[in-house]
Structure 1
Amino acid sequence: MLVELRIRNVAVIDTVSLPLAGGLNVLTGETGAGKSLIIGALGMLLGERAAADRVRAGAERATVEGVFDLRGLPAVRVLLDERGVEADDDLLVLKREVGANGRSRAWINGSAVTASVLADVGARLVSVHGQHDSRQLVDADHQREVLDAYVQADAARAGVAAAHAQLVALRARERELEQGRQDAMRRADYLRFVAREIEEVNPVIGEDDALDADIRRLAHAEELQGLAAQAAAAITGDDRAALTRLATVRRALASLVRIDPSLERLQSGFDAAVYALDELTTELESYAETIEADPQRLRTLERRRDQLVSLMRKYGPTMPEVLAAAAEASTALDLLDGGTLDLAAIADARASAEGALAEAAAELTRLRQRGAHRFARAVTALLPELGMREGRVEVVLAPLEAIGAAGAESVAFVAALNAGSDMRPLSRIASGGELSRVMLALSTVLARLQQVPTLVFDEVDAGVGGAVAWQVGALMRRVASHHQVLAISHLAQIAARAHHHIVVHKSAVGTVTTSDTTVVIDDARVVEIARMLGGDADREVSRAHARELLTRGSEDVQALADVGETLEVTPSATPKRQRRGKPV
């Protein structure tokens, strides 16, 4: 149960501490007072997207905290333990902060957690039903989700989705292989030519560069030989050669060292230079001996280079690309030879996956078929209490041509909400007010199945009024007998049913507008009910009307308790309405 909601620096809210109680909590206030901001802050606490525009102007960060009572919620404790969050006592504190820079942080019991963990835990604590749910009610996917929630088909749905994903992947692979095989068949002659041509030449990566170097040397053999011999002779040849002329340097250095031994390093450097020149001469002479003009070899290399150039011109422009073209052609040809076996193996796997999907979908269908009638009866049983005495709701399951990720059938809610009406889809027959009431009936039925302790109804009474509003309030009060309920409403008939009445009001502090909350009791509550009735709250006649409404609300609630009216909507039993033990 949500014990307290603390909000700071969210939109126009400066600081709000919202104390909540068990039973039916009703939040009222003038339009624009900030009721929707409180629900938005609660959503942020439950893991919804937290944007920087939520932060109050001039503030560094917005903060929302929720204090929850964990008594009677062992499943939540298990989840916290799985997420590594300590919950030693009966209170749990969730906190969410968003900075003006857009950065968001979250904590549970003081331990930092991710927004996803906060959302996982929040989903076990609070379930929010808003006006948008009424609009979603006409959507076929949403209707399917509602039915599946009622029949508790989460595991079956996950099985169908997984089996369908596997089948889709296998079909895609099968199409890919078949397409590749068909392409290879159309291009078989060309592919064989490519593979054969490249294979006959048998090129090697880097071979083209090596050939260019060899051809260049052979083409300039005489020139290279002459230059090498000329360089060697310049070092060791006649009296004018370098080494001969360096003898004078050697003698001078020897004399210098005898006089000044510290110049020994110069002698060492000279000796190293002379040795290097001597080595250079040896290498030049050896190189000159290896160079030999060979016209026949030159022609052979040039023919080989021409072959490589031809391949690179066709399949290149580089040698790696030529080899890649050969590999691609060989792979495609292998597909022609072995593709039939691969396709047969995939076909077997696909058939197995189709069987698994059919089996999983059949289980989901059984759950839906068993629960659809019970669900329709449970919802229909509530419609008279919401002002639709002749209303009926049915669930239509229509087989699909092919099993999809969501199962083998479509799910559609059809209804006749007025006497003499034919059964039609909700999108074609329901007004906004009627949709709101049908959605409330659905939420009431699902609430009995949900383990979530706190339900939030955000203006789900839109479009209703008068006696119907009174009945809507009675139904919310009934739901509050086994859940904590927080209802945001503009209707006095619903506010009069509350166990705990909170008013949101807007005020100005200097030049800054802010929203705040007040728990109203006794005369303050009478004034608020009078305001909601549309009269002058300061006039005694308006207050008398408000007192009468509050008195009637208390008397009706007591009468409801006296007769012991119950509604069974669990999926294990057929819904029945009973009064004093007798069916009506």
Structure 2
Amino acid sequence: MLRHLDIRDMLIIDRLELAFQPGLNVLTGETGAGKSILLDSLGFVLGWRGRADLVRTGADQGEVVAVFDLAPGHPAFTVLEAAGLPAGDELILRRVNTPEGRKTAWVNDRRASGDVLRALSDTLVELHGQQDDRGLLDPRQHRAMLDAYGGLADMRAEVAGFWRARSAAEKSLAKAEAALADIQAEEEFLRHSVAELDALDPQPGEDAELDSRRRLMQGAERMRADLAKALSALGPDGAEGAMGDAARWLDGLAGQAEGGLEEPLASIERALVELGEAQAGVDRFAETLNFNPAALEETEERLFALRGLARKHGVAPDDLGAFAADLQSRLAALDGGAHQIEGLRIALADVTAEYDRAAAGLSDARAAAAVRLDADMAGELAPLKMERAVFSTTLAEAPAGPDGVDAVAFVVATNPGAPAGPLSKIASGGELSRFLLALKVCLTREAEGVTMIFDEIDRGVGGATADAVGKRLAALAEGGQVLVVTHSPQVAARGAHHWRVAKAVRGGITTSEVSPLDADARVDEVARMLAGDTVTAAARDAARALLQARDG
């Protein structure tokens, strides 16, 4: 419930504090007195998108504070929790605006975004007027309204889930089919290349190994002659013989040298061992040069084949193995593509069947909810002096989508036998007001803790019809809170609390003021609404009669 509204420096409002009450709160005043400014200011603090030039001329900033009482379990608590904002039984919204249009908001003294304000607004306030900016006249919104009325949120969510799954399955199938088509376009190339690479079987590092072996073979003849010379120089006729002779001569002298030749002899022994190892190494290397002359040709052919295939596919020789693996995987995808696509088609058919089942169930539930809504509307229209009017909720087939397969529209016929049509085109101004009031009552019947605001919902009606509208608004306010901006004395007289909005000029500056009315002031205001500028005794008597009728 909206308990307090504090407005500062907004348009022609200097400072205004309003303490609203439960029940039916009515605001009256001359046209242009500033009633719409109150709604603009309330919409501003609730984050609604509206006019930008709200700051009073000459002021540094405009500010609006709204205080709401929250009952336990109020939906606003869910929004506050999701936004990480403090929560209690009192909700304080504050928002300021600069002349340049910069807006800043706080929720319970914590900074908050406009999106959070709007999310809270959906749980706190329902605004309704003849122009119905919340969508009652927009057929595109009727399906969601019917679902909300019928409590079909879970079924609608199930349908949306299957639709998303179906869309994902369609995308997966299309992607697989496109990929298969791309691979099929190069099937001949893939099969030939894979066969060619499989036959060659390139190995990592093979290019460097073959190149080294080739150079070795090419220099083998020259190296054999030099190796023979080296072996001769190292052997018995060379270093080995000379070192052996030196060892024998020194060994003959060792007994006379008193140990002085032991170390040289040991060094010669080690040298002979190293020399033997050197000879063995040269022999082993020489053995590698003993190859079949055809081996050089085979090595060169292999090397040239490897490098030729690498050039053909534009990769390095050492990358041919990985390239071959990639081609093989693409070929495997081609060979298994048909099987994969068949599986994806089955999955799509399965999820489509689930969607169709859920959508059909939602359609049946909507049809049942439409019957109930039409009956509820008939019950609401009769007290509003429209017992001969007919309200119908029509369902037609629509393209499948996340919200199902139904198009929903609210149509009316104002008299028996008259053609039915959209609300906005069939009903006159007064009739439209009553249709919208009845519809709003039906759609919000289960809403708890929501302040309903009706902006001149009684426009275009008068007399007994206006009185019927006033009675319905008063009944709607029982146990809750309704704010009504009205020009109808019959509606104003039904209010439990009454404020008058008026302009005042002080020091050449026009401001809007709102005053709570006591019993005597209410008589004068209702009399003004009945009689106009000149309030007569008869008008006051008529005003008292209207007010007494409410009390009676």
Q: Is TM more than 0.5 here?
A: yes
TM-score norm. by structure 2 comes to 0.71
Structure 1 residues 361 and 527: CA distance shift in structure 2, 3 A:
same
Give the Cα–Cα distance (whole angstroms) in 1 for the partners of residues 40 and 199 of structure 2. 74
The answer to whether the Cα contact below 8 Å between 1:9 and 1:63 also exists between their aligned partners in 2 is yes
Give 1 or 2 for the bigger CA radius of gyration.
2
Alignment of 1:201-280 (within 5 A): none
The answer to whether the Cα contact below 8 Å between 1:46 and 1:123 also exists between their aligned partners in 2 is no
| Residue aligning to 1:430 | 427
| Residue aligning to 2:31 | 31
For residue 552 of structure 1, the aligned residue among 539, 546, 552 is 546
The answer to whether the Cα contact below 8 Å between 2:378 and 2:387 also exists between their aligned partners in 1 is no
| Residue aligning to 1:162 | 161
Residue 549 of structure 1, CA deviation: 3.6
Which stretch shows the higher mean deviation, 75-84 or 194-203? 194-203
Residue 302 of structure 1, CA deviation: 11
Give the Cα–Cα distance (whole angstroms) in 2 for the partners of residues 474 and 437 of structure 1. 12
Which stretch shows the higher mean deviation, 176-185 or 17-26? 176-185
| Residue aligning to 2:473 | 476
For residue 495 of structure 2, the aligned residue among 490, 493, 498 is 498
Structure 1 residues 75 and 309: CA distance shift in structure 2, 3 A:
closer
Residue 44 of structure 1, CA deviation: 2.4
Alignment of 1:347-386 (within 5 A): 347-386=345-384
The answer to whether the Cα contact below 8 Å between 1:372 and 1:395 also exists between their aligned partners in 2 is yes
> What is the identity percentage for the equivalent residue pairs of Structure 1 and Structure 2?
37
The answer to whether the Cα contact below 8 Å between 1:52 and 1:101 also exists between their aligned partners in 2 is no
The number of aligned residues is 464
| Residue aligning to 1:124 | 123
Q: Deviations over 1:291-324 (max 9, x none)?
A: xxxxx99xx9999999878766xxx9x99xx999
For residue 460 of structure 2, the aligned residue among 454, 457, 463 is 463
The answer to whether the Cα contact below 8 Å between 2:9 and 2:15 also exists between their aligned partners in 1 is yes
**1:137 lines up with 2:136 in the alignment:** yes
| Residue aligning to 2:294 | none
> Aligned with 2:95: secondary structure?
strand
> Aligned with 1:180: secondary structure?
helix
Q: Deviations over 1:533-584 (max 9, x none)?
A: 3622xx342x5325414522431x355xxxxxxxxxxxxxxxxxxxxxxxxx
Q: Deviations over 1:319-358 (max 9, x none)?
A: 9xx9999999777655422222322332233233223323
The answer to whether the Cα contact below 8 Å between 2:390 and 2:413 also exists between their aligned partners in 1 is yes
For residue 393 of structure 1, the aligned residue among 377, 391, 394 is 391
Give the Cα–Cα distance (whole angstroms) in 2 for the partners of residues 412 and 37 of structure 1. 33
Residue 391 of structure 1, CA deviation: 0.9
Residue 407 of structure 1, CA deviation: 1.8
Which stretch shows the higher mean deviation, 34-43 or 503-512? 503-512
The answer to whether the Cα contact below 8 Å between 1:191 and 1:333 also exists between their aligned partners in 2 is yes
Tell me how large the CA RMSD over aligned residues is: 4.2
Give the Cα–Cα distance (whole angstroms) in 2 for the partners of residues 307 and 75 of structure 1. 70
The answer to whether the Cα contact below 8 Å between 1:502 and 1:517 also exists between their aligned partners in 2 is yes
| Residue aligning to 2:184 | 185
The answer to whether the Cα contact below 8 Å between 2:70 and 2:449 also exists between their aligned partners in 1 is no
Which amino acid is 2:120 matched to? V
Structure 1 residues 324 and 302: CA distance shift in structure 2, 3 A:
closer
Give the Cα–Cα distance (whole angstroms) in 1 for the partners of residues 489 and 322 of structure 2. 79
TM-score norm. by structure 1 comes to 0.67
Give the Cα–Cα distance (whole angstroms) in 2 for the partners of residues 79 and 196 of structure 1. 64
Give the Cα–Cα distance (whole angstroms) in 2 for the partners of residues 8 and 323 of structure 1. 77
Give the Cα–Cα distance (whole angstroms) in 1 for the partners of residues 12 and 198 of structure 2. 77
Which amino acid is 2:183 matched to? A
Structure 1 residues 525 and 339: CA distance shift in structure 2, 3 A:
same
Structure 1 residues 32 and 169: CA distance shift in structure 2, 3 A:
farther
Residue 523 of structure 1, CA deviation: 4.0
**1:68 lines up with 2:65 in the alignment:** no
Residue 78 of structure 1, CA deviation: 6.4
Residue 464 of structure 1, CA deviation: 3.0
Which amino acid is 2:354 matched to? A
Alignment of 1:413-452 (within 5 A): 413-426=410-423, 428-452=425-449
Structure 1 residues 342 and 31: CA distance shift in structure 2, 3 A:
farther
Which stretch shows the higher mean deviation, 107-116 or 39-48? 107-116
Structure 1 residues 195 and 375: CA distance shift in structure 2, 3 A:
same
List gaps (5 residues or longer) in structure 1: 205-209, 211-295, 560-584
For residue 336 of structure 2, the aligned residue among 335, 338, 343 is 338
Q: Deviations over 1:158-180 (max 9, x none)?
A: 22212212211211221222233
Structure 1 residues 75 and 142: CA distance shift in structure 2, 3 A:
closer
List gaps (5 residues or longer) in structure 2: 209-296
